[in-house]
C-alpha cells in the first residue's frame, strides 16, 4: 500500500491546484467532515507548496501519450491502480487525523475515457454514500468522457477541473496528440452550464461566481441581481429552457451547426478573422462558439439529486503548462481572461514546465523550470481577479511579455503616469487598488479609516501600505511624501534600487535579482 | 506630572476585565493609567515613580464590563477585545483598556478608527490570534489512541484551544477527541455527539499525554510516504516551506517527526 500510494501521489504531484476553497459546508449528522470557504492548508512540502488535499491518481496506467507527462503510455514507469475502497479508506483515515481537507482524485486514462470517468464517479459515490464523507472533493473531468458520466461525478464533487494543458491548439496538437481542444472545452462548458442550472433550480442564493465576476460587477457598480439578470440575457441567446425544464440546442446554435474536429467552421462568413486567430485557444466569442458546444444537454439527474450538496458547488478550475510551447505572456493572460469571462472558472493555475521526459519535441530550459515567469503570471492573474485590470491593459501584442524585473502592477503604473498621483483621502477603492504598494486589504482599510480622520503618510504605513513603492504615486491632502519627479525612468530606477527580495519561491530561475545591472534594461538608455 | 498607576492583573479574560473595571473606578485620569498582565514579560522592570496596584479577578466585575461593552459599544468590539485577551502580546491589557476608553466615548464607530494606535494594536492582536487559529485548523494532528479516541496536541503562542474547538466539533461530530495545549495545560474534550467543554489538566495527566508521542501507526507511515512523494524535486525550496510552516508549529506534526 505504501508503495502504491507513493507511486500514485508522485504521479499526481504535477497538478498544481490543491485548493480546498470555494464552498462552506457545515458538518452533517451521521457524516464526517465539513468545508471551509477560504480553504485550509494542512502542511507544506519541501518545495513550499501547500498540501490541502490527498492528491492522487486513481491509476497511472494511461493510453494517452502526452509528451510532457510522466505517465505517458510510452514511458517505462511502474504502473499501479487503486481500488475505490482503498481510496475511500485512505481519505477517511487521513481526514480523521486532520492530515487533509479532502480528496483530489485525478487519473490516467485506463482503457478509455468513459471507463476512467466511471471509476472516478463510482469512487466518489462510494465515499459520499457508504463512507459518509462530507468533506471536500475535487475531481477531474476526463476529456472525451460521456457528458452523463461527468454530470454524475459532478453531483458528488465540490470542484471539478479539466486541464487546458496548453494555451494554443498547435501546442496541444504537438505535445498531446490524443487530446483536442474540443474535448477539453466541452466538459468545461457542460460543467459551467450545470452549475448555473443547479443554482437556479436548487435556489442557491448569491450564486457561486468567482472573484473575477464579483470584481467586474463591483467595478460596474451593479448588484448581484442586476449582474445575474444581464448574464441570464446573454445566456438566453445560447440556451432555452423548455417546459420540462430541459435545455436543448436552439437559436443561434442551430445556424452555426456542428463542431468539426479541427475546430474550424466556415459558414459564419467570418472565416478570415477566424483563421488568423485560431492559434489561440479562446480568442473571441465567434470562434469559441464554433467548436464549443454552446448549449450542453443540461442536468439530466437533477431530480435525483435535488436538495443535495448541489452540482460542483465550488466551481471549476483549470491549469496551463508554462514554457513548454512558445506562447507569449499576452496570449496566456488573454486566454485566462477569456476563461474567467466566458467559462466562469474559479481559478486558472499555471505550472512551470518541468522536463520530466526526454523528448525532442520538448524544449530544454537551461535554468530549470521558469518559476519567475510563473510568478509573474500569477501576479497578473490576481490583478485580473481582484484588482479589476483587463488583460489588454497589462500587455499588448506589441509588448507581449512581462518585465521580469518589475511586477506587472508597477509595470502598468509606470506606463500610465498620467493617472498619478492619486489623492489617498479622496480616490475610490478601485483607483487606490491600482497604486503600487496598495492591495485589497490596505485599500479597504484606507476607505474605512479616512471616514474618521484625514490620513497622512505615517497612518498609511500603519495601515499596511508599502510606502517605498507607493510614494511615487500618491498624495495625502495634496502633498507628496517628499518632492519626487513623476517621470518614468526616474521612478523605474528608484523602484529597481529598492533591491526588494523576490518571493522566496523564486530561486533557481537561472537568474538572480542581485546580478541585475541597470544597463541591461532597455528602458534605460 | 502625576505618577503613573500601573494596574496589574492575571492572564485571563476575567482578570483583564476586572482590571479594566477597577482602573476605571479609580477616576485617576485615563492617560495616567497603564494595565499590565503579571508574568507575561519577564524582562519587564518595575518602573520608578509609578504606583503598582494588583487586582484579583472578580467574576462579577468582569461580567459587568462584558455587558457594558456589548450594550454600549458593540458585539464586534466585544469579540475583538476577547480575542485580544487571548493573544500572547504583552501589551494586550493596556491596549484593551485604552481601546475601551475610546469605545465608551465614541460608541461602535471606534472599530473604524484605524489610525488610533490602541485600535491598531487591538486589530494587530486579533489578526495574530485569528491567523494562528486558522493555521491550527490545518496544522493540528490527531493520533488515534487504542480506544479510538483522537488526541490532538499543540503548543500555540496564543491561547486558542477554545477558539479552535468549534471547528473540529462540527467536523468530527461523531468522534471522541481532545485538543490539548501542552504549554498551558488546558484542553477541550469532545464526546461523540455531545457538547464539548474546556478543562484544566493536572500535571500527571500532562505527563501521560506527553508519552503518546512517537508511535508509528499504519496511517502515519502512509501519510509520511505521501508527504515525501508530493514534493517536486526541481522546485525544492526549504526557505519557502519554513515561511509557510513555522518551525515552532512542527513539533507535533506527524510529517515532520523523525
Task: Report residue A280 CA to chain centroid gap.
Answer: 17
Q: Which among B221, B222, B231 has CB closest to A45?
A: B231
The pair phi, psi for residue A512, each rounded to 5°, is -110, 150
Give tens-digit pLDDT for B89-99.
Answer: 999 999 999 99
Phi, psi dihedrals of residue A488, rounded to the nearest 5°: -55, -50
In this complex, do A6 and B144 lie within 8 Å of one another by their Cβ atoms? no
Residues β-bridged to residue A105: A56, A139
CA distance A337 to B255: 38
Measured in degrees and rounded to the nearest 5, phi and psi for residue B168 equal -80, -30
pLDDT for A251: 30
Indicate the average pLDDT of chain A. Answer: 79
Range of the domain at B227: 140-256
| Domain end call among B112, B131, B150 | B131
- Using CA atoms, how far residue B237 sits from A42, A378, B89, B242, in Å, is 18, 18, 31, 9
Give the rounded percent of residues in chain B with a pLDDT score beyond 70: 96
Over residues A373-381, the mean pLDDT reads 91
The candidate with the shortest Cα–Cα distance to B164, out of B174, B176, B152, B149, is: B152
pLDDT for residue A116: 93
8 A C-beta contact, residue A442 and residue A474? no
Which has more confidence, A458 or A196? A458
Is B255 at the interface with chain A, CB within 8 A? yes
CB contact under 8 A, A352 and B236: no
B28 and B68 part of one domain: yes
Q: What torsion do the CA atoms of B110, B116, B121, B123 make, to the nearest 10 degrees?
A: 40
Residue A275 confidence (pLDDT): 34
Same domain, B123 and B62: yes
Q: How far is CA B48 from CA B1, B4, B51, B135, in A?
A: 14, 10, 8, 41
The reported pLDDT for the residue numbered A443 is 94
User: Is B175 an 8 Å CB contact of chain A?
Assistant: yes
Q: State the Cα–Cα distance between residues B197 and A391, nearest whole angstrom.
A: 52
The last residue of a domain, from among B101, B131, B161 = B131
Q: Which of B124, B235, B245 to mutate to test the interface with A (most CBs of A within 10 A)?
A: B235
Percent of chain A surpassing pLDDT 90: 30
Residues B49 and B21 in one domain: yes
Do B117 and B148 fall within a single domain?
A: no
B19 vs B35: CA distance, rounded Å: 7
Structure confidence at residue A358 (pLDDT): 84
Half-sphere exposure of B155 (CA within 13 A, CB side): 12
How many Å apart are CA B126 and CA B238, to the nearest integer? 29
Q: What separation, in Å, do the N-terminal and C-terminal C-alpha atoms of chain A show?
A: 62
pLDDT at B62 over 50: yes
B93 and B188 belong to one structural domain: no
The SS3 call for residue A379 is helix
Averaged pLDDT score across all residues of chain B: 90
B208 CB within 8 Å of a chain A CB: no
Top mean pLDDT of A279-288, A376-385, A507-516 is at A376-385
Of residues A6, A96, A504, nearest to B243 (C-beta) = A504
B142, B143, B244: residue with CB nearest A48: B244
Q: Residue ranges of the domains in chain A?
A: 162-402, 403-524
pLDDT digits (tens, 9 = 90+) for B19-42: 999 999 988 888 888 999 988 876
The mean pLDDT of B228-256, rounded to a whole number, is 87
Q: Is the dihedral of CA B18, B19, B22, B23 positive or negative?
A: negative
Could you read off the pLDDT of B195-220 as tens digits, one per residue? Answer: 999 999 888 888 888 877 656 688 99
Q: Which residues of A touch B243 (CB under 8 A)?
A: 48, 504
Task: Count how many domains chain B has.
Answer: 2
Considering the domain architecture, whether residues B113 and B88 belong to the same structural domain is answered as yes
User: B18 with B126, same domain?
Assistant: yes
Q: Are residues B110 and B176 part of one domain?
A: no
Amino acid at each position: 500500500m505504501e508503495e502504491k500510494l507513493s507511486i500514485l501521489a508522485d504521479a499526481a504531484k504535477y497538478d498544481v491546484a490543491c485548493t480546498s476553497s470555494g464552498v462552506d459546508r457545515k458538518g452533517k449528522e451521521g457524516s464526517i467532515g465539513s468545508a471551509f470557504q477560504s480553504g485550509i492548508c494542512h502542511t507544506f512540502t519541501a518545495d513550499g507548496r501547500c498540501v490541502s488535499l490527498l492528491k492522487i491518481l486513481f491509476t497511472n496506467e494511461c493510453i494517452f501519450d502526452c509528451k510532457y507527462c510522466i505517465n505517458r503510455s510510452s514511458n517505462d514507469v511502474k504502473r499501479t491502480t487503486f481500488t475505490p475502497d482503498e481510496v475511500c479508506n485512505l481519505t477517511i483515515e487521513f481526514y480523521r487525523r486532520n492530515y487533509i481537507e479532502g480528496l483530489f482524485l485525478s487519473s490516467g486514462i485506463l482503457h478509455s475515457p468513459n471507463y476512467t470517468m466511471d471509476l472516478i464517479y463510482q469512487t466518489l459515490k462510494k465515499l459520499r454514500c457508504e463512507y459518509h464523507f462530507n468533506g471536500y472533493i475535487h475531481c477531474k473531468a476526463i476529456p472525451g468522457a460521456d457528458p452523463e458520466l461527468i454530470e454524475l461525478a459532478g453531483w458528488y464533487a465540490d470542484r471539478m477541473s479539466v486541464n487546458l494543458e496548453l494555451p494554443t491548439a498547435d501546442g496541444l496538437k504537438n505535445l498531446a496528440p490524443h487530446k483536442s481542444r474540443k474535448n477539453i472545452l466541452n466538459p468545461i462548458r457542460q460543467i459551467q452550464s450545470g452549475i448555473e442550472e443547479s443554482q437556479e433550480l436548487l435556489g442557491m442564493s448569491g450564486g457561486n461566481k468567482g472573484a473575477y465576476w464579483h470584481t467586474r460587477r463591483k467595478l460596474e457598480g451593479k448588484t448581484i441581481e442586476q449582474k445575474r439578470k444581464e448574464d441570464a440575457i446573454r445566456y438566453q441567446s445560447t440556451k432555452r429552457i423548455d417546459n420540462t425544464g430541459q435545455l436543448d440546442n436552439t437559436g443561434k446554435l442551430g445556424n452555426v451547426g456542428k463542431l468539426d474536429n479541427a475546430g474550424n467552421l466556415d459558414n459564419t462568413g467570418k472565416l478570415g478573422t477566424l483563421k488568423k486567430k485560431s492559434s489561440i485557444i479562446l480568442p473571441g466569442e465567434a470562434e469559441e462558439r464554433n467548436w464549443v458546444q454552446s448549449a450542453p444537454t443540461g442536468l439530466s439527474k437533477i431530480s435525483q439529486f435535488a436538495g443535495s450538496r448541489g452540482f460542483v458547488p465550488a466551481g471549476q478550475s483549470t491549469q496551463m503548462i508554462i514554457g513548454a510551447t512558445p506562447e507569449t505572456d499576452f496570449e496566456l493572460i488573454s486566454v485566462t481572461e477569456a476563461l474567467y469571462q466566458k467559462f466562469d472558472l474559479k481559478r486558472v493555475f499555471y505550472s512551470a514546465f518541468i522536463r520530466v521526459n526526454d523528448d525532442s519535441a520538448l524544449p530544454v530550459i537551461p535554468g530549470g523550470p521558469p518559476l519567475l515567469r510563473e510568478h509573474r503570471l500569477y501576479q497578473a492573474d490576481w490583478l485580473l481577479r481582484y484588482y479589476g485590470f483587463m488583460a489588454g491593459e497589462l500587455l499588448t501584442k506589441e509588448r507581449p511579455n512581462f518585465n521580469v524585473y518589475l511586477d506587472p502592477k508597477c509595470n502598468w503604473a509606470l506606463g500610465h503616469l498620467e493617472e498619478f498621483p492619486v489623492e489617498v483621502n479622496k480616490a475610490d477603492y478601485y483607483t487606490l487598488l491600482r497604486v503600487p504598494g496598495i492591495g485589497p486589504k490596505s485599500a479597504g482599510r484606507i476607505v474605512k479609516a479616512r471616514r474618521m480622520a484625514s490620513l497622512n503618510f505615517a497612518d498609511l504605513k500603519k495601515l499596511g501600505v508599502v510606502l517605498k513603492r507607493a510614494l511615487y504615486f500618491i498624495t495625502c491632502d495634496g502633498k507628496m511624501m517628499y518632492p519626487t519627479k513623476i517621470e518614468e525612468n526616474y521612478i523605474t530606477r528608484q523602484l529597481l534600487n529598492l533591491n526588494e527580495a523576490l518571493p522566496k519561491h523564486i530561486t533557481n530561475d537561472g537568474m538572480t535579482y542581485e546580478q541585475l545591472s541597470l544597463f541591461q534594461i532597455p528602458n534605460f538608455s | 506630572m502625576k505618577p503613573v498607576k500601573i494596574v496589574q492583573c492575571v492572564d485571563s479574560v476575567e482578570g483583564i476585565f476586572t482590571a479594566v473595571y477597577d482602573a476605571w473606578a479609580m477616576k485617576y485620569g485615563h492617560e495616567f493609567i497603564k494595565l499590565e498582565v503579571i508574568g507575561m514579560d519577564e524582562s519587564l522592570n518595575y518602573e520608578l515613580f509609578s504606583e503598582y496596584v494588583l487586582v484579583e479577578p472578580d467574576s462579577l466585575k468582569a461580567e459587568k464590563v462584558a455587558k457594558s461593552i456589548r450594550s454600549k459599544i458593540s458585539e464586534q468590539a466585544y469579540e475583538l477585545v476577547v480575542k485580544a485577551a487571548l493573544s500572547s502580546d504583552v501589551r494586550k491589557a493596556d491596549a484593551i483598556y485604552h481601546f475601551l476608553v475610546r469605545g465608551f466615548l465614541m460608541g461602535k464607530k471606534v472599530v473604524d478608527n484605524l489610525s488610533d494606535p490602541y485600535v491598531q494594536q487591538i486589530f494587530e492582536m486579533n489578526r495574530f490570534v485569528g491567523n494562528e487559529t486558522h493555521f491550527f485548523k490545518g496544522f493540528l494532528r490527531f493520533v488515534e489512541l487504542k480506544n479510538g479516541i483522537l488526541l490532538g496536541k499543540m503548543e500555540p503562542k496564543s491561547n486558542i484551544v477554545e477558539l479552535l474547538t468549534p471547528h473540529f466539533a462540527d467536523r468530527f461530530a461523531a468522534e471522541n477527541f481532545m485538543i490539548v495545549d501542552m504549554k498551558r495545560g488546558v484542553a477541550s474534550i469532545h464526546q461523540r455527539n455531545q457538547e464539548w467543554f474546556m478543562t484544566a489538566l493536572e500535571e500527571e495527566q500532562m505527563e501521560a499525554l506527553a508519552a503518546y508521542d512517537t508511535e508509528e501507526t499504519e496511517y502515519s507511515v502512509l501519510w509520511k510516504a505521501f508527504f515525501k512523494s508530493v514534493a517536486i524535486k526541481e522546485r525544492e525550496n526549504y526557505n519557502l516551506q519554513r515561511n509557510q510552516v513555522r518551525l515552532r508549529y512542527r513539533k507535533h506534526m506527524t510529517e515532520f517527526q523523525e
